[in-house]
Structure 1
Amino acid sequence: MSKAETFGFGVPWESLFGYSQALRAGDTVYVSGQLSHDADGTFLGEGDFVLQMGTTFANLDKVLRHFGATRRQVVETTVLVRDLREHFGTLAPYHAEFFGEHRPTSTVTGVSDLALPEQLIEVGAVVRLDLDG
């Protein structure tokens, strides 16, 4: 039996909540919801959906790089958004551009709250390392 490989940024809420940013089990990587923060765990973009969205997806890229994965190996995204009706028109083309010709499955859900009070978006993913990148 193989052992799962985990990855974390070392931000405070990982130990507070007791989770990993991602966990690799075999050829599958399960990515926890990413959000807008810098390397020190400082939240970025209070009140700025575009900045939060860009930083959130950039953090997803960092997780992918850790596992040697590419965006083309993402098979599913889960996107949670506060005030979805207000932000969907900005989010949809950004998500499409982020993945280019690749089209992962995706669930987008409007939520009333996220973990941090100023947080507007969170993006989780499932990645298959056995797919061509």
Structure 2
Amino acid sequence: MTRHIIQTDRAPQAIGTYSQAVRVGDTVYLSGQIPLDPATMTLVEGDIDAQIRRVFDNLRAVAEAAGGSLDDIVKLNIFLTDLAHFPRVNEIMAGYFAQPYPARAAIGVASLPRGAGVEMDGVLVLAD
């Protein structure tokens, strides 16, 4: 199968040796997004809520560039430097996703790039 690289200016540019997303067939693999403002490439200011919202906005931008939406995500991975913020992820996520929700994992990590408190990646499947 052919791989298609997904790229958008509406999400932060890759800060390493990776693509924002890769599409293979109807499946799109979204790289991890941290709460970088795509215009400035700096971490958003504010509390963990602002970081979580920015990550969802970044994921949405890449999903849309791939021809889909957040509703097409079938698997979401969430990485938090403080698992006490997990209830905030749930509450904010409800504003971005509708049922049925994607499969999901939440993982506590020691640190994330650029000092972020949250990172998310996922897999989406596009309709024919």
Q: TM (normalized to structure 2)?
A: 0.87
1:28 aligned partner? 27
CA distance in 1, matches of 2:40, 2:31: 15
Q: Match of 2:108, as an amino acid?
A: G
Q: Return the match for 2:99 from 98, 101, 110.
A: 101
1:59 matched residue in structure 2: 58
Report runs of 4+ in structure 1 exceeding 4 Å deviation. Answer: none
Q: Which residue of 2 aligns with 1:48?
A: 47
Q: Sort the Cα spacing of 1:46 and 1:110 in 2 relative to 1 into closer, same or farther, 3 A.
A: farther
Q: Which amino acid aligns with 2:91?
A: P
TM-score relative to the length of structure 1: 0.84
Deviations 1:92-128 (A, max 9, x none): 12123321223100001111101212x0000101000
* Aligned AA (1:28): T
Q: Which amino acid is the alignment partner of residue 95 of structure 1?
A: M
8 Å CA contact 1:12–1:41 kept in 2: the answer is: no
**2:57 & 2:67 partners in 1: Cα distance?**
15
Aligned to 1:121: 118
1:99 partner SS: coil
Once the 2 structures are TM-superposed, how far is the Cα of residue 41 of structure 1 from its aligned partner? 4.7
Task: Decide which structure has greater helix share.
Answer: 1
Q: Count residues in correspondence.
A: 125
